[in-house]
Chains A and B, each alone.
Chain A
Amino acid sequence: MSTKKVISGNYTASYASMLCRAEVVPAYPITPQTTIVEKIAEFVASGQMKAQYINVESEHSAMAACISAALTGVRTFTATSAHGLVLMHEMLHWAAGARTPVIMANINRALAPPWNVWADHTDSMSQRDTGWIQIYCSSNQEVLDTLILCYKVCEQPDIMLPAMVNLDAFILSHTSEVVDVPDQKEVDDFLPQFNPEIKLDVDEPLSFGTLAFPSSWYMEWRYKIQHAHDLAAKRLVEEAKAFEKHFGRPWGGLIEEYRSKDAEIILVTMSTIASTTKDVVDSLRDQGRDVGLVRIKSFRPFPTKDLREALGHAKVVGVADRSHTFGNEGPLFTEVKGALYNHDRRPPLVGFTVGIGGRDVLGSTIEGLYDHLEKVADGEAYKEVRWIDLIGDEEEVV
């Protein structure tokens, strides 16, 4: 029997790691992730959770410990945020390359300077090429469900990839919401034991992390990571169906379409901004305006095919990014444009950089984006990339 609890996004992640029976949890505290690992330490100390909690000296070590533990065939969990995540960077590549299904909660937080502990996706976006699966959540329930689903998918013998489950700093991490927490048996029945085919074994020694040459197998090993991502895109959707059957709650697909199938004007975004956008879409629809939302849940694997189907019919598409690739534009914007370029139907696209460093994204902020998109749909000249709510002046076209 599941129990409904009013708990924060962070505690939700802690519960998920316990219910998924993570056996090794190496972690280093950082705001706003700290309460995840505090709670896990409590679970372990009280004997509720049978895991080895490892105090490490840095996030780099935390990830190194996760990889090593996973290579011995045990289930691992860790959590971090912002500067912690970027310090892990080298080891993130290693985790994916070594094909260890490490599961990590990342609290999306801005990077310094200037210091800022609030919601921003720059930390995880800058880990795009590490080979990790990246899912972005828009509610605490989704944090729990996604963590369970990721263990299920990532540990499959033909996937074996690490996954990062992202939740917005404070907006989810420190906000209590109603979460349906399954009991241990329900999770055990869904999630088999982790039993990798290749692991460290003193009786059958193998060298891990060996050299591979230009002439043979390095490129092939890299291709296999891509191949696993292609499989993971399918497997996430299949396992989500099994999840729904088992837990009685849908997880959905790599994207979520909200009143967008018959909409002319579509906003594409992620995480908690997308949740607020649903209310905005409803109220604009009530006014007879032709708007919809497409929420990207899986950023890696990137849902190119789904996006083509979901966006091809639109008159104009806006993409709201809570991060920015300096020297260009929002990373989500780039990727959505890329997905549509080779498609026969290519609506005009506008990129919005919004909510940087936790600047509050209100319903009215999002309404402003739709206003802007309507003008583009009416044929007004537009800037391809907009920084929203800059104080005092608009961005400058140089």
Chain B
Amino acid sequence: MKEIRFHGRGGQGAVIASNILANAAFLEGKDVQAFPFFGVERRGAPVTAFTRLDEKPIRIKYFIYNPNYVIVLDESLLKAVDVTAGLKDPGIVVVNSKRTPEEMELSQYKVATVDATSIALDNGLGSKVSPIVNTVMLGAFSIATSVIKLESILESIPGQVPIKAEENTKACKTAAEKIVLHW
């Protein structure tokens, strides 16, 4: 079983990202679960979402406390939230950032980065104040880990994003090319 945690801010699409990933894994024949942190939502507030995938039917129905992977959609969250809490060893952290793991004080983890904000804006996803980076981060995630194929992510984007399916698909592919693996 693989467990993935998404950290974003309300409006950035973390919950949809958890669903796209689940759907992509389902296309690969896995059983899946995707759920938001069961909270009371507000735009701009930190948001957490989760995806679980397994070869076998998933029967457990509780939170994810020890994810294998963490995806951080907004770099500023590094200061506000303990994004690596409970992360399994060896876990991978995928961050939307131009900085190095050292600069982000994440050097004890396997870190992959991508400038998702620029890629999103280049493709007209969201606005400067609130870029929508969810599909971009999933493109990066598929390269950083061997959990999911990029094609599966691309296939499940159109059914899951409310608008701009083509732009999202293109941005996702770009992220897969531009990702930096710091290991």
Bind each other: yes
Which of the residues A4, A177, A363 comes within 8 Å of B33, measured between beta carbons?
A: A177
| Residues A360 and B19 in contact in the complex (CB < 8 Å), given A6-B26, A6-B34, A178-B32 | no
Nearest residue (CB) in B for A273 is B61
**A238 beta carbon closer than 8 Å to chain B:** no
Which of the residues A174, A176, A178, A276 comes within 8 Å of B60, measured between beta carbons?
A: A276
Which of the residues A4, A176, A275, A361 comes within 8 Å of B19, measured between beta carbons?
A: A176
**A352 beta carbon closer than 8 Å to chain B:** no
Do the beta carbons of A176 and B38 come within 8 Å of each other?
A: no
**B109 beta carbon closer than 8 Å to chain A:** no
Residues of B within 8 A of A360 (CB): 62-63
Nearest residue (CB) in B for A175 is B35
**B68 beta carbon closer than 8 Å to chain A:** no
**A26 beta carbon closer than 8 Å to chain B:** no
Interface size for B (C-beta < 8 A) is 19
CA distance A138 to B58 in the complex (A): 12
Nearest residue (CB) in A for B38 is A170
Do the beta carbons of A117 and B40 come within 8 Å of each other?
A: yes
Contacts of B57-106 to chain A: CB distance below 8 A: 58-63
Do the beta carbons of B59 and A118 come within 8 Å of each other?
A: no
**A301 beta carbon closer than 8 Å to chain B:** no
Do the beta carbons of A362 and B22 come within 8 Å of each other?
A: no
Do the beta carbons of A275 and B35 come within 8 Å of each other?
A: no
Contacts of B36-66 to chain A: CB distance below 8 A: 36, 38, 40, 58-63
Do the beta carbons of A361 and B62 come within 8 Å of each other?
A: yes
CA distance A276 to B58 in the complex (A): 9
**B31 beta carbon closer than 8 Å to chain A:** yes
Do the beta carbons of B59 and A177 come within 8 Å of each other?
A: no
Do the beta carbons of A279 and B59 come within 8 Å of each other?
A: yes
Contacts of A152-179 to chain B: CB distance below 8 A: 168-172, 174-178
**B169 beta carbon closer than 8 Å to chain A:** no
Interface size classification for chain A: 20 to 34
| Residues A175 and B62 in contact in the complex (CB < 8 Å), given A6-B22, A6-B23, A6-B26 | no
State how many angstroms separate the Cβ of B144 from the closest Cβ of chain A.
22
Which of the residues B35, B61, B62, B63 comes within 8 Å of A176, measured between beta carbons?
A: B35
Contacts of A128-145 to chain B: CB distance below 8 A: 138
CA distance A175 to B63 in the complex (A): 11
Do the beta carbons of B32 and A176 come within 8 Å of each other?
A: yes
Nearest residue (CB) in A for B160 is A6
Do the beta carbons of B32 and A279 come within 8 Å of each other?
A: no
CA distance A169 to B61 in the complex (A): 12
**A101 beta carbon closer than 8 Å to chain B:** no
Which of the residues A6, A171, A276 comes within 8 Å of B32, measured between beta carbons?
A: A6
Do the beta carbons of B59 and A176 come within 8 Å of each other?
A: no
State how many angstroms separate the Cβ of A71 from the closest Cβ of chain B.
38
Nearest residue (CB) in B for A169 is B38
Do the beta carbons of A6 and B19 come within 8 Å of each other?
A: yes
CA distance A176 to B36 in the complex (A): 10
State how many angstroms separate the Cβ of B2 from the closest Cβ of chain A.
16
Which of the residues B19, B26, B40, B62 comes within 8 Å of A178, measured between beta carbons?
A: B26
State how many angstroms separate the Cβ of B91 from the closest Cβ of chain A.
20
Nearest residue (CB) in A for B65 is A362
Could you say which of B23, B32, B34, B60 has the most chain A C-beta atoms within 10 Å of its C-beta? Answer: B60
**A278 beta carbon closer than 8 Å to chain B:** yes
Do the beta carbons of A178 and B35 come within 8 Å of each other?
A: no
| Residues A176 and B33 in contact in the complex (CB < 8 Å), given A276-B59, A279-B59 | yes
Do the beta carbons of A275 and B38 come within 8 Å of each other?
A: no
| Residues A174 and B38 in contact in the complex (CB < 8 Å), given A6-B23, A6-B26 | yes
Given contact pairs A6-B22, A117-B38, A118-B38, enumerate 6 new A-B contacts (beta carbons under 8 Å): A6-B34, A176-B19, A176-B22, A176-B34, A360-B63, A361-B61
What are 18 A-to-B residue pairs whose CB atoms are below 8 Å?
Answer: A4-B26, A6-B22, A6-B23, A6-B34, A168-B61, A170-B38, A171-B35, A174-B35, A176-B18, A177-B58, A178-B31, A178-B32, A275-B60, A276-B59, A279-B59, A279-B60, A361-B62, A363-B62
A residues adjacent to B (C-beta < 8 A):
4, 6, 117-118, 138, 168-172, 174-178, 272-273, 275-276, 278-279, 358, 360-363
